[in-house]
Amino acid sequence: MIVGFIGFGEVSSTISNILSRNGIQTVTVVKGRSEKTNIRAIKSDVQIIDSYDALVKGSDVVISANSPANALNVAKKVSKLMDNGIYIDLNNVSPDTTLKMSQLFEKPQETLPKIEEKHSFFKKQEDVDMRNMFVDGAIIGKVSNDSTTILFSGQRSGDLAILNNYGLNIMIVSNKPGDVSTLKTLRSLYTKGVSAVLMEAYEASKEIGMVDQLFEILSLTEGETFEEKSKSRIRNSYKNSNRKVEEMDEALEFLDKISPKGKKNFMTKAARDKFNDVK
Ligand X SMILES: NC(=O)c1ccc[n+]([C@@H]2O[C@H](COP(=O)([O-])OP(=O)(O)OC[C@H]3O[C@@H](n4cnc5c(N)ncnc54)[C@H](OP(=O)(O)O)[C@@H]3O)[C@@H](O)[C@H]2O)c1
Note the residues at the interface with ligand X (CB under 6 A): 6-12, 33-34, 36-37, 65-68, 70, 74, 90-92, 139, 142-143, 243, 247
Q: In the complex, what is the shortest distance from the CB of residue 235 to ligand X, in angstroms, rounded to a whole number?
A: 13
| CB-nearer residue toward ligand X: 84 or 185 | 185
Classified as helix, coil or strand, 143 is: coil
Work out the widest C-alpha separation in the chain, in whole angstroms.
68
- Confirm if 88 and 135 have CB atoms less than 8 A apart: yes
Distance of CA 26 to the CA centre of its chain: 17
Cβ 260 to ligand X shortest distance, Å: 28
| In the complex, least distance from residue 220 CB atom to ligand X, rounded to whole angstroms | 29
Closest by Cα among 107, 74, 169, 93 to 136: 93
Which C-beta is closer to ligand X: that of 100 or that of 205? Answer: 100
Q: How far apart are CA 273 and CA 40, in angstroms?
A: 30
Strands 130-132 vs 106-108: parallel, antiparallel or unpaired:
antiparallel
Cβ closest to ligand X, residue 123 vs residue 239: 239
- Residue 184 Cβ vs ligand X, minimum distance, rounded to whole Å: 8
- Measured CA to CA in angstroms, residue 36 lies from 8, 67, 112 at distances of 9, 15, 38
From CA 268, how far away is CA 271, in angstroms rounded?
A: 5
Nearer CB in complex with ligand X: 41/199: 41
Contact yes or no for 177/153 (Cβ under 8 A): yes
Alpha-helix residue ranges (DSSP H) falling in the chain: 10-21, 35-43, 52-58, 71-81, 95-104, 115-118, 179-207, 211-222, 226-239, 241-258, 266-277
**37 versus 195: smaller Cβ distance to ligand X:** 37
Nearer to ligand X by C-beta: 111 or 147?
A: 147
- As measured in angstroms, the least distance from the Cβ of 31 to ligand X is 10
**How far apart are CB 124 and ligand X at their closest, in Å?**
31
Minimum CB–partner distance for residue 254 and ligand X (Å): 14
| Nearest to ligand X of 6, 101 (CB atom) | 6
| Residues 15-50: b if buried by 16+ CB within 10 A, e if exposed | bbbbbbeeebbbbbbbeebeeebeebbeebebbebe
Q: Which residue sits closest to ligand X, CB atoms considered?
A: 9
